[in-house]
Amino acid sequence: MAILNIVKEGDEVLRKICRPVEAITPRILQLLDDMLETLHDANGVGLAAPQVGVLRRIALVEVVDGQLYELINPEIIEREGKQNELEGCLSVPEQWGITDRPMKVTVRAMNRNGETYTVTGTGLLARAFCHEIDHLDGVLFKDNAVHMLTPEEIKENIG
């Protein structure tokens, strides 16, 4: 496994729409493993393939340690409720914003074995699913922010 470089805002790859994964190949499996190592190294809760420069519809979400969701070709099939919470991004360091997201989402995706599954998340998990799937369509959290925090607000709310 390898720690990959996380692409930062300003790199055009973050604004592109990713291609679907047609087959689970050894290269895709290696990417999943490398993305997980990169996610852990960065202490994040989610990471999408374009954040490491790969334009494929792949994302990882791990809100709770050890509860990993590998999302290949994910799509949100249900949304419910609303939450306005603080959000940040590994590709947009030191910036935070309040975003509008659904309180509950159901996602359909493939796992590393090529099997289709659905998962429902609420709260932070729902927000993370939305955030990472947005990356696959070239959308950053800032595009959904209703308020970006000032440096003073960041110190107050994050430390």
Active site residues: 132
Give dist(CA 71, CA 108) in Å, integer. 8
Which residues make Cβ contacts (< 8 Å) with residue 58, sequence separation at least 6? 18, 21, 28, 31, 32, 35, 48, 49, 70, 71, 72, 136
Q: How far apart are the first and last CA of the chain?
A: 33
**Residue of 13, 19, 125, 8 whose CA lies nearest to 72:** 19
3-state SS, residue 139: coil
